[in-house]
Amino acid sequence: MTRPLVSAEWMHDQIGNDGVKIVDASWFLPNQGRDGFAEYLQGHIPGAVYFPIDDIADRTNPLPHMLPAPDQFADAAGKLGIAATDRIVVYDAIGLFSAARVWWTFTVFGAADVSVLDGGLPAWKACGFPIESGPVTVEPKHFEIHFDPRTVSDHDDVKQALRSGERLVVDARSGERFRGQAPEPRPELPSGHMPGSLNLPFGELIDADGRLKSNPEIRQAFEKAGVDLSAPITTSCGSGVTAAILSLALHSIGHSDLSLYDGSWTEWASRDDCPRETAL
């Protein structure tokens, strides 16, 4: 399987190609004190539109940035000038963080060709390529939805997976948060983990320069975490963002039976009917 990544050099050659849509997906955790949209306006890859993760979401749900309804996503993507048939390249300001979530969102809703810029905006800047500031004006398009519900899990799906063992649940949070030894970035939530879930911190899949590790390294990381790569897998994290990094890595090595727990730990830990553990 072709890795769902493109290089900064390739991206530079595509600037001005109307069939390639560039999406800035920069988003930060509540405790990071950064504003993705403000940073986008200060400087972004020429022609890139900004994808607001917290706004293109189900705003009726109290959980953060849950997937929007299909028609809502179609409207939002169309207003960004993106069609499902376009070549879509997503990046973020960290290297590889929130871009994976937007990559996953586009694929869930049926985009035919979605990639992530390897190394993100830092890789682009390291090449000395141009940056532009301010908003971008686009021509609206029609985004035709082909939603695949099998790629999205809710808490009932995860409960069933953990109870039956039919699917593995792999958590992308840090080991300290998973074990209940460090606080969550959302202070109202306890740390800990779902009984029976496995832990692979997303950072173990990313090189120091913000690029996704090689396929052999990805396989090794999952196997070291106790993940049977022949099994169906559901990824999870704090709120469904870094879980998508695990999904991107699994997709990269050819794993196809994947879902993502959209509510993730934020939903699980806030429900009285969902058991929690704080030790391995």
Residue 241: Cβ-neighbour burial (10 angstroms; 0-12, 13-18, 19+):
buried
Residue 237 among the catalytic residues: yes
Pick the closest to residue 233 from 262, 265, 255, 215 (CA basis).
255
DSSP-based three-state secondary structure for 38: helix
Q: What angle do CA 85, 77, 110 make, to 5 degrees?
A: 45
Cross-strand pairs, 231: none
Closest CA to 240 of 5, 86, 68: 68
Of 169, 165, 137, whose CA–CA distance to 153 is shortest? 169
Question: What span, in angstroms and rounded, lies between the C-alpha atoms of 270 and 188?
Answer: 9
Helices (H), the chain: 8-14, 36-42, 70-79, 99-108, 120-126, 155-164, 175-178, 215-224, 243-252, 264-270
Catalytic residue among 237, 243, 260, 269: 237
All residues at 6 or more sequence positions from 148 whose CB lies less than 8 Å from its CB, including other chains: 108, 110
Q: Kindly list the catalytic residues.
A: 237
